[in-house]
Amino acid sequence: MRGQILSFDDASGAGLISGDDGIRYTFGREAVSPPAAITAGLRVDFVPVAGEATNVMLLAAAPSPGAPSATPGVPVDSYDFAKAMFAFDGRLRRSHFWISWAILFVGGWVLNFIPILNFLGIVLLWPHFAIGAKRLHDMGHTGWLIAIPYAIGLVGFIAIFATVGASLMTNYAAIQNEDPAAIMAMIGPSLGIVGIICLIQLGFLIWIGVVDSQRGDNRFGPNPKGE
């Protein structure tokens, strides 16, 4: 059951919860998890037993009119770089996704101009997967969907390789003689495939970067905006 802490006495470790069913329940500090500062106004999830709240889990502060709530101990709109970039659990709001994406884009662009560090670009795949998976979580979808644009890119690369190979086999002499028609017949389909891949990947990026957070808690965690 969900509810809200009405009061808590830090000295005695006892408090009172107003359940969403309209009933008030007493609780003790030892029933609360995770360990955190307990204050009036926090939203909680608990198990009611004979007028007492047990297994109390702190969720978020009750929102004041016109203002978003905050997860206990975490300021609203705080950006956790390490969690955003490297963790796959939880949710990531749109603004933090774009901050992370911009950092990775600039990082990849810089690496392209440093030949000795070019190979490090592959390391950026992990944070790209991480921010994409958590953004999907925030929308209420499985993080495995982040594999779609990469799978399409791989299939497209194979299709380009096959197309170019087939053209070379059938028009090798003309291509060797730099026949413009034969060259266009070879690279034309490849350019079309590249265009399709880019459109799909761009559409996917816009989709996960524009769709709003799923309101309330979902199976991946609480709403990062506290809504």
Per-domain residue ranges of the chain: 2-61, 81-210
Structure tokens at 125: 């795949």
The string of pLDDT tens digits covering residues 138-176 is 999 999 999 999 999 999 999 999 988 888 788 877 767
Residue 127: pLDDT band with limits 50, 70, 90: very high
pLDDT, residue 74, reads 44
Q: Are 57 and 45 in contact (CB under 8 A)?
A: yes
Statement: residue 67 has pLDDT above 60: no
Q: pLDDT per residue over 71-97, tens digit each?
A: 444 444 578 899 999 999 999 999 999
What CATH architecture does domain 2-61 belong to?
A: Beta Barrel (2.40)
